[in-house]
Amino acid sequence: MSVWNPDNIRDVAESVGITNLNHDVTENLARDVEYRVAQVLEEALKCMRHGKRTLLTTSDISHALRNLDVEPLYGYESLRPLRFGEASLGPGQPLFYVEDEEVDFEKLINAPLPKVPREVTFTGHWLAVEGVQPSIPQNPTAADSRNLELVSKGPNANSTLAAMSGTGDVAVKPTVKHVLSKELQLYFEKVCSAFLDETSEEYRTSAYASLRDDPGLHQLVPYFVQFIAEKVTHSLKDIFVLTQVMHMAEALVQNTSLYVDPYIASLVPSILTCLVGRQLGGASELSEQFALRDLAASLLGLIAKKFSHSSHMLKPRLVRSCLKSFLDPSKPFGAHYGAVIGLQAVGGAEVIRVLVIPNLKDYSKLLGDGLDDTARRPAAERVLSALLGVLASMRDAHPALTNGHSNTVSDEMRATLTEKIGGLLASKIADANEVQLAHLILQS
């Protein structure tokens, strides 16, 4: 005997057009309905217990039906409790129904329209590549990172390292928590202090060798790059500090165990500053200033040669920056010197032939004015020597002249050369009897 009334089965069957249903069939269907209802209730009770509730809701029934692969009942999902009303169809025949909420049409029509929901879209982006955040709108910019005011614990703690490692007492939480071991933090501080130690050259040399050869420094690369940028920014009048941070950058680039490609874009501005900066070293000796520019040019050439395969726009951008400084007459001759040797270091003889030689005639006038000025004469002479040196690199890059050419620079060639590159440089080349160089300049 089933608890479920067989008459309900018979009523449902008549509603769909099935009459004279056998009594045994109604009994079996009633028992099956009883089993199915119990199954749904057991599954709904599981959902209720997982929700840590003691009241069974319509959402539990819906989840149970979904778990049993049965289409759920629609219209009963509500955050408010359902109100059931009772109606009578006759004596002993109550009918229960869900009371519908009465809605005032006037209030509904005059109510403000809801905001139009945004269209659902999905995009993907790299949060970090090799531990470095790409410069995209979804990620914080370098300017945001620089504006973070980080305070470290202890009198001798490094603020940047402590904050990024999550061990410091920071005023603003960093966007990305970068964990560094105590050993790496100590190594970073020791190496930075060693590079800036003016009293012990042996200490600086050992730090340079360690930074160039140690294979386990990948986590510290962004901190070294940031340290270099900060020192260049705040120590433009200290030639020793600028020289040492360039040596630090050189050691990082030469370390074959480090993957420095993602950090080149952040490292190059500091090198360009030491190459074509207006005032470097303050009142230091002129030879020290130009030695710093030579070091920066060689480092820039090394970067262009080593990392141009990973960034196809690296060389064009470096050449464009150097050429812009070379063609700016408002910059001092020190910046022009750095731009000339930088162009030669990055692009070689071909860049000199294509970009420098066509502008030498106009620049020759500016250089002549500098040689006539007593205050600017030493720097102008350096630029003149640099120009002659990069022009000579064209000669070294080409084979010797074949027979049939004159062994001396004729007056006609001198006049043509003067028209091409200006009288100052033309006279220097003619006086040195650089026949092959003169032919190469005229052919360019």
pLDDT at 406 over 80: no
Q: Using CA atoms, how far apart are residues 271 and 256, in angstroms rounded to an integer? A: 20
When pLDDT is averaged across residues 388-413 and rounded to a whole number, the result is 71
pLDDT for the residue numbered 162: 54
Q: What is the dihedral of CA 318, 239, 237, 346, to 10 degrees?
A: -10
Average pLDDT of the chain, as a whole number: 82
DSSP state of 354: I
Q: Rounded to the nearest 5°, which phi and psi values hold at 214?
A: -70, 130
**Given phi > 0 = left and psi -120 to 50 = alpha, else beta, which region is 404?**
left
- Cβ distance 85 to 101 under 8 Å? no
Return the exposure string of 319-357: e unless at least 16 CB atoms fall within 10 Å of the residue's CB, then b. Answer: bebbbebbeeeebbbbbbbbbbbbbbbbbbbebbbebbb
pLDDT for the residue numbered 407: 66
pLDDT at 405 over 60: no
pLDDT for the residue numbered 149: 45
- Cβ distance 312 to 258 under 8 Å? no
Pair of tokens at residue 238:
């200290």
Lowest mean pLDDT among 34-43, 180-189, 284-293, 429-438: 429-438
Angle at the Cα of 73 (from 71 to 74), degrees rounded to 5?
115
Q: Using CA atoms, how far apart are residues 285 and 281, in angstroms rounded to an integer? A: 8
The helix/strand/coil state of 84 is: strand
Sequence-separated (6 or more) residues with CB below 8 Å from residue 71: 65
Q: Using CA atoms, how far apart are residues 396 and 6, in angstroms rounded to an integer? A: 108
Nearest alpha-carbon partner for 424 in 360, 375, 354: 360
pLDDT for the residue numbered 153: 45
pLDDT for the residue numbered 95: 81
- The per-residue pLDDT for range 7-31, each reduced to its tens digit, is 888 888 888 888 888 888 888 888 9
Angle at the Cα of 53 (from 52 to 57), degrees rounded to 5?
130
Q: Which residues pair with 129 in a beta bridge?
A: 132
Please, is 288 exposed, middle or buried when counting C-beta atoms within 10 Å of its C-beta (0-12, 13-18, 19+)? middle
pLDDT at 341 over 90: yes
DSSP state of 261: G
Sequence-separated (6 or more) residues with CB below 8 Å from residue 179: 165, 166
- The per-residue pLDDT for range 409-421, each reduced to its tens digit, is 777 888 888 888 8
Q: Using CA atoms, how far apart are residues 79 and 75, in angstroms rounded to an integer? A: 12
Q: Using CA atoms, how far apart are residues 322 and 297, in angstroms rounded to an integer? A: 10
Nearest alpha-carbon partner for 417 in 429, 406, 407: 429
DSSP state of 198: S
Sign of the four-CA dihedral 330, 335, 337, 340:
negative
Q: Using CA atoms, how far apart are residues 306 and 261, in angstroms rounded to an integer? A: 9
Q: Using CA atoms, how far apart are residues 395 and 357, in angstroms rounded to an integer? A: 14
pLDDT at 146 over 70: no
Q: Using CA atoms, how far apart are residues 315 and 307, in angstroms rounded to an integer? A: 9
When pLDDT is averaged across residues 127-149 and rounded to a whole number, the result is 69
Q: Using CA atoms, how far apart are residues 312 and 296, in angstroms rounded to an integer? A: 21
The helix/strand/coil state of 121 is: coil
- Cβ distance 254 to 212 under 8 Å? yes
pTM over 0.85: no
Nearest alpha-carbon partner for 438 in 402, 409, 415: 409
Q: Using CA atoms, how far apart are residues 241 and 194, in angstroms rounded to an integer? A: 11
When pLDDT is averaged across residues 135-160 and rounded to a whole number, the result is 58
Q: Using CA atoms, how far apart are residues 321 and 268, in angstroms rounded to an integer? A: 11
When pLDDT is averaged across residues 51-59 and rounded to a whole number, the result is 88
pLDDT for the residue numbered 170: 45
Question: Amino acid identity, residue 363?
Answer: Y
pLDDT at 165 over 70: no
pLDDT for the residue numbered 159: 54
- Identify the residue with better confidence: 332 or 131: 332
| Level-2 CATH architecture, domain 177-311 | Alpha Horseshoe (1.25)
- The per-residue pLDDT for range 211-257, each reduced to its tens digit, is 999 888 888 999 999 999 999 998 888 899 999 999 999 999 999 98
Pair of tokens at residue 53:
């509730």
**In whole angstroms, how large is the CA radius of gyration of the chain?**
41
Per domain, the residue ranges of the chain are: 1-78, 177-311
pLDDT for the residue numbered 296: 93
CATH number of 1-78: 1.10.20.10
